[in-house]
Structure 1
Amino acid sequence: MNHPPITVWGRANSVNVMKVLWLLDELTIPYHRIDAGGAFGRTRDADYAAMNPNATVPTLVMPHGYTLWESHAILRYLCRTQPGGNAFYPEAPEARADAERWMDWTLASMNEPMRIIFWTYIRTPEAERDLAAAAQAQEATARLWRIADAALEEREHIAGAFGLADIALGGFLHRWYHLPIERPELPRLRRWYDRLRERTPYRTQVAVPLS
């Protein structure tokens, strides 16, 4: 009996949805994506709320009916349940903690200032932009990217080997380099971005025009 493929609910231009699609492509796992969130709506409909009461995207639905929300939880789950996933989420305690540190840092520190800059310049009409808030967020974000740049001094990827830490941060990294803002020169960060762009799943799912 054929089972339905993994389903991902969420619009393709959501940075959090991008993370999940990128990993699925890295794992060469077929999936079905359903537009939801933003202009597509659906996230406040009763059937969606039954899967994800937060009205956010992405939401993962497995063939056996299990549903999961929160992008980083989805990334961890897929690595633990799908063939080849362990290569992206190390078993060794220190290596795993390093990866999870950057994943948590993405949500706790990077997410909000990057959201402000992105929404200001990409999704807010020019006449309605709060440029003072954007400038403050830009300063905060530049400081954070300097932290990442320093961490890359002896590494090709943010947690050493390519894995979930790269996938967690990679969407914000692409946005950073394509937003219409001034950026400090961070050569190690730029080389990391160039390495990620060598990966077909990154180019397909993440390194796309901002919208």
Structure 2
Amino acid sequence: MPVRVLIADDQSLVRAGFRVLVESEDDMEVVGEAGDGATAAALAERLRPDVVLMDVQMPGTDGIEGIRRITANPELSAVRVLILTTFDTEEYAVAGITAGASGFLLKNTAPAQLLHGIRVVAGGEELLAPGLTRRLIARLVTPARATVDDTVFAELTAREREVVALVAEGLSNAEITARLFISMATTKTHVSRALGKLGARDRAQLVAMAYQHGLVSPPEPGR
């Protein structure tokens, strides 16, 4: 089955460019277009895309509110949102991830990287634009948290905690599988169970929770 993509951008030429790019791939198809966040949320409910490419700044209902409406709808739990913006600022990344987006890329990203990003997000993994990760973590982490908040992670097994920590470090499922010498199926099971126990929508929210509640520590400056 091809990856079903919904494009949300207020500029018709931008939408047309993304459509041409996406539909050049045999394993992808564009199922709809929207010019604002409200229309994107309504189309997502009707069309059930795998991935929504969501611009942030749009007239009327912006992309962040569009994400909130999508992620608040339990019937759209399988829909993933990839933010695309011209602005390289952590404010948009924080707002988008907090609202429930699974990824964040800049519009000047190379076409091959954008297509890769769509596949990554459709596959259930998170994606952040290079250079934004450290600043995003710095904004998400509560100050001076030295110990793990066990009230948050109490239901996780030791192995599930280990897997969540590796997800927070940016490892893919394949890399976690290799690091822990377990099967891919086992890795996916641990991630899925952790998502359910923590009430997280996707891996991006797992990353946020792991840093916010002390399961992992922010990277040291310069590393």
Give me the TM-score of the superposition, normalised by structure 2: 0.25
From the two aligned structures, give the one with the greater helix fraction: 1
From the two aligned structures, give the one with the greater strand fraction: 2
Q: Which has the higher contact order (CA 8 A, sep 6+)?
A: 1
